[in-house]
Chains A and B, each alone.
Chain A
């Protein structure tokens, strides 16, 4: 009888094998390994290995200049934390700062110089060719242009880099233009003072009342931590916060008093408050008698505010007269801070609104007193290593329309967006060219003729900002925590390569020079982030010691200065602004006869990049949670929506004379009737890319014909038929 293997035997073998395999760990281990294997494809980028290091620096993503502790592995930052005890930020870091290091790898980062060709298409060009092209355009502009035909738009004026820009422009008879920043309105107050005025700051921490015209006081104004500190203080200890704002912002909801003001009527309200102060004699009579130059007489301030009775103001602003009187009396009860806020997306208030608001500070005697407006001494910022003529610094609003033939935009992150139409108005219609030195495409510079990519804040050394609520000057550095890629270049190096008649110092030379001058001044103290304590500057024996401390993430802060308020004009020195103040009660006319049915008020999130890109991790978070609605959503009150025929989730087209955007309707009963709010900034759908096509953003809609102000935009809201 022979041995034969039947099918049944084979099935037995397979069955035994299956059971045997199941009784071994191999299949389960195999499943585990395959799962891991699929997550670790060889082409996926990996974190570098190497020593773990901790370094200190300052955030360069906005002017707040928060102290950062950066943990790196193998030279790449893997963790960012705040620095406890830091004199400016006190350990605070906003969400943008925590995730800011990811921006260096952002998909929208510009990785080569690009130029728009004659066919209108953008194409890459070598770096040397880009610099040569910039040089050629500069020659063209100089040969045919007048004063201010070459300009640099500086998003963070006041740095040593800004001085280098001004020197470079000085040789070209060019203009140094200030980009928007949080303390832009302070310059309006400085302009109201007669004679030279120092740098000014707001002493919010010691104020009794904060009168905020739309400023994000509780959401990261100034040094960032101010809001959290204010929220954490007891009621008896913290200032009384009055938020004057149309939008139901987080500050509005958290303020002691929220005045839901009708859009664009801030000037009227400020003058109404002034009316109460003057008529009830609540102003600082001594200061006003000694220093006010335009209180009395025909057309004087007293005559102006007399027309703004609380009753009349109430009808225009929507705020009842009793509340106006109550706020004015509270304001006059002690030192107060007035903040005409600059919105990251909605921009500044009108010049007359800023002037009217600051006239309250002057009336209350708050300029120069603790808890009001304090002075900062200039500290080593007024000199350059090599002397030279400096170009004047001007506000963008004050640049004559059509005057710029070559605009170079600095690449530093500002956080404040400006409308495309505003920039276009300043450019020469036929010959105006824009060169962007930014590491990312920015909304207003979407169509820049030439782009030369620069470094991101975590890759290059520069000065951190001095926040609006800092009572003294300071110097902190953004110390690089990662290597800059080869395709990026410092803006000063670009300028030095095209400089024909001037020598442009390097940023390190500039910063070292300021550090040395600070050391020579022997004032203030230096904060050591590794120890969490400050030591007097005089303990630094040599200027090299101070420089080493600063390049290790230290922060120098000046000693406080006393400041006596000089003579001032309550209506400012500018005749046009005075005229607009006198006409503030007139109903505003709609631009070019545009018949609108709704008021569009764009706004930006303070900590979610009004202008630059959003780190992908934040874009994902905001997309999935709606913590920050982006420009795809329009917030509107249910009544207005009902009147226009919209319900939650509808698609709508918001239209102005310049174009339209498509949005999804979100209902919020706290929004003022007749108003629609749309956020400005990067899209959370496209990895937080700020460079959406032209025409997609609310800031493509305003015409900016009124004093470079675009907070209130007449618009129509139409149904989108799919």
Chain B
């Protein structure tokens, strides 16, 4: 009888353990992040193909001041898409809703850092020679834009925390948390004081 009682208790412990782990690993992440579609479909593969022949820095380049231009303005799209190329739904939407009225496309940024973080792309890509995909993944090879996963609490993109909910990233794209910045700075012997990034 005593053995049975203990087995029952262990069974309840295991049930609690499994339910909590399932919640912690699957349910919480699913509930924590809302999924938001990009305003427009976009294929990096098509644009970088031999047919189109664009280079990455045609749109994502460093300015003469060393700043990162980030997402291109609509003026860049106008160069080729002043008139619709093809009849796809996204193409027509691009021309009718954004190019003709001269509106900027409200792209959702996967790697947006908080306002209090100063991140100079030029230092990381030119001086430290860190490849873009180390943080952003192999984004240039995507056929479509994935939805932005936005944290309902903080408003941060999931890319900042990293796609592995454990927060342990073993391969690119790396997460972009403050601790990741500090770890990398220390590893490379770069200044890691508060004012290095928060200024």
Contact = CB atoms under 8 A, between A and B. Distances in A.
A24 B65 contact: no
A25 B16 contact: no
Contact of B154 (A26, A28, A37, A71): A37
B166 A12 contact: no
Contacts of A9: 8-9, 12
Given A13-B12, A20-B20, A6 B5 contact: yes
B18 to A, nearest CB: 7
B166 A14 contact: no
Contacts of B65: 54, 71
B24 A21 contact: yes
B183 to A, nearest CB: 16
Contacts of A37: 153-154
Interface string B93-112: 00000000000000000000
B15 A13 contact: yes
A23 B9 contact: no
A26 B115 contact: no
A17 interface: yes
Contact of A40 (B8, B18, B69, B155): B155
B166 A51 contact: no
A25 B153 contact: no
Contacts of B32: 29, 33
Nearest to A34: B153
Interface string A45-74: 011000110100000000000000001000
A24 B16 contact: no
A34 B23 CA distance: 18
A47 B115 CA distance: 7
A17 B153 CA distance: 24
A12 B10 contact: yes
A45 to B, nearest CB: 10
B164 to A, nearest CB: 9
B119 interface: no
Interface in B53-83: 63, 65, 67, 69-70, 73
Contacts of A11: 9
A52 B161 CA distance: 25
A678 to B, nearest CB: 32
Nearest to B116: A39
B21 A23 contact: yes
A17 B165 contact: no
A17 B12 CA distance: 9
A699 B181 CA distance: 50
A27 B153 CA distance: 14
A118 interface: no
If over half of A's interface residues share one DSSP class (helix, strand or loop), that class is named, otherwise mixed; here it is helix
Given A25-B165, A36-B154, A36-B156, A20 B17 contact: yes
Contact of A23 (B19, B24, B153, B161): B24
Q: Which of B28, B165, B166 has the most CB of A within 10 A?
A: B28
A16 B69 CA distance: 50
A10 interface: yes
Contacts of B154: 33, 36-37, 40
B13 A26 contact: no
Interface residues of A, number: 36
B99 to A, nearest CB: 17
Contacts, number: 109
Nearest to B164: A25
Contacts of A30: 28
Nearest to A8: B9
B155 A13 contact: no
A11 B5 CA distance: 13
B128 interface: no
If over half of B's interface residues share one DSSP class (helix, strand or loop), that class is named, otherwise mixed; here it is helix
A40 to B, nearest CB: 6
B5 A16 contact: no
Interface in B146-199: 151, 153-156, 161, 165-167
A713 B20 CA distance: 76
Contacts of B67: 52, 54, 71
Contacts of A47: 115
Contact of A26 (B15, B28, B153, B161): B28
Interface in B1-46: 5, 8-21, 23-25, 28, 32
A16 B13 contact: yes
B21 A24 contact: yes
Contacts of A46: 115
Given A8-B5, A20-B20, A29 B165 contact: yes
B169 to A, nearest CB: 12
B24 A20 contact: yes
Given A36-B153, A46-B115, A25 B166 contact: yes
A624 to B, nearest CB: 14
Contacts of B115: 46-47
B159 to A, nearest CB: 15
Interface in A540-568: none
A51 B73 contact: yes
B16 A20 contact: yes
Given A24-B21, A25-B166, A51-B73, A17 B155 contact: no
Contacts of A54: 63, 65, 67
A16 B14 contact: yes
Given A33-B153, A37-B154, A52-B67, A17 B17 contact: yes
B20 A24 contact: yes
A157 B118 CA distance: 40
A645 interface: no
A129 interface: no
A16 B17 contact: yes
28 contacts: A5-B12, A6-B5, A9-B9, A12-B12, A12-B16, A13-B12, A13-B13, A13-B15, A13-B16, A14-B16, A15-B13, A15-B16, A16-B20, A17-B17, A19-B20, A20-B18, A20-B19, A21-B20, A23-B20, A23-B21, A24-B28, A25-B25, A26-B24, A26-B28, A30-B28, A36-B114, A36-B153, A36-B154
Given A52-B63, A52-B67, 16 more contacts: A6-B8, A6-B9, A13-B13, A16-B18, A23-B20, A25-B24, A26-B23, A26-B24, A26-B25, A26-B28, A27-B24, A29-B32, A29-B165, A36-B154, A54-B63, A71-B67
A-B pairs, 8 with minimum CB distance: A24-B24, A16-B16, A20-B20, A17-B16, A16-B13, A26-B24, A16-B17, A20-B17
